């Protein structure tokens, strides 16, 4: 009798356990929401969409706002499906994280306002204002040697991303012609400093290896800078030092778009 009672107890416990597991699975599945935003499907958790009270998404999930369904029964929101990726990432992370080179601040600000996410809207506008301010400031890149910073080349432009592009291009060219990278030169935020950068007889500054074999000239680097600028749609405004009478021999270049 005791064995039968014990068996019945075990069976009851298993049924309860299976029932609880089934309820947990059901709750987990119902916590997943699929959204169709402009033709793009996003699957996320209910708690993510309801993170900000009084937002558009929270209103949909909690029934305050009516939302149509697509043919598969998913919530359909007629907005920019690609930009919604950044909306959802903001809900997940609690902060604005955008890919490098993102240029759709105005569109994202409109999306943030539509979804009634005031915190996101303010973050996007703040980022936009900082970029506008930075675009009006002239940035520069200096190419010089470690012993005499008065000698070398300075590149000025009001587009920080262009300066970054020029720097990476010059580093790439220099790296391909120098064997000891980065021992032969160092790179900081606005300066590329060569270790072996000396003056030749005709005034041209040369990059030399320790064994004094020719590697490349400063004029080559100027040429790389000018060609990169032209390919990116910039033009050479003027040589900031025209005393030498030639762009090739100038100490600074100024680019604008």
Report the CATH number that the domain containing residue 39 is assigned in CATH.
3.30.710.10
DSSP 138: -
Q: Are residues 29 and 110 in the same domain?
A: yes
Q: Are residues 104 and 198 in the same domain?
A: no
Q: Residue 212 domain-assigned?
A: yes
Q: Are residues 45 and 83 in the same domain?
A: yes
Question: Which burial class, exposed, middle or buried, applies to 210 when counting CB atoms under 10 A from its CB (0-12, 13-18, 19+)?
Answer: exposed
H or E, element range at 43 = strand 40-45
What's the whole-number average pLDDT of the chain? 75
Q: Are residues 123 and 203 in the same domain?
A: no
Q: Are residues 34 and 129 in the same domain?
A: yes
24-73 confidence digits (pLDDT tens): 444 444 589 999 999 999 999 999 999 999 999 999 999 999 999 999 99
Kindly state the tokens that stand for 254: 């100024």
Q: Residue 213 domain-assigned?
A: yes
- Number of compact structural domains in the chain: 2
Residues 220 and 215: their CA atoms lie apart, in Å, by 10
Q: Are residues 249 and 148 in the same domain?
A: yes
Containing structural domain, residue 195: 140-174+184-256
65-108 confidence digits (pLDDT tens): 999 999 999 999 999 999 999 999 999 999 999 987 788 999 99
């Amino acid at each position: 009798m005791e064995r039968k009672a014990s068996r019945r107890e075990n069976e009851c416990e298993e049924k309860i356990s299976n029932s609880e597991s089934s309820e947990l699975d059901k709750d987990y599945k119902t916590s997943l929401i699929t959204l169709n935003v402009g033709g793009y499907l996003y699957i996320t958790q209910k708690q993510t969409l309801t993170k900000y009270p009084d937002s558009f998404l929270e209103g949909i999930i909690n029934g305050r706002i009516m939302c149509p369904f697509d043919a598969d029964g998913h919530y359909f929101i007629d907005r920019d499906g690609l930009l919604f990726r950044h909306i959802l990432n903001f809900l997940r992370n609690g902060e604005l994280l955008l890919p490098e080179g993102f240029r759709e601040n105005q569109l994202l600000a409109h999306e943030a306002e539509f979804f009634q996410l005031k915190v996101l809207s303010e973050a996007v506008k703040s980022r936009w204002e900082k970029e506008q301010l930075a675009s009006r400031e002239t940035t520069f890149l200096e190419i010089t040697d470690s012993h005499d910073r008065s000698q070398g080349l300075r590149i000025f432009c009001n587009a920080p991303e262009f300066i970054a592009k020029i720097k990476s291009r010059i580093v790439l060219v220099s790296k391909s012609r120098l064997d000891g990278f980065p021992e032969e030169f160092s790179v900081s935020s606005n300066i590329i400093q060569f270790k072996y950068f000396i003056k030749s007889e005709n005034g041209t500054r040369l990059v030399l290896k320790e064994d004094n074999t020719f590697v490349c000239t400063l004029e080559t680097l100027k040429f790389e800078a000018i060609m990169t600028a032209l390919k990116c749609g910039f033009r050479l405004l003027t040589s900031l030092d025209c005393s030498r009478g030639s762009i090739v021999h100038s100490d600074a270049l100024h680019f604008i778009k």
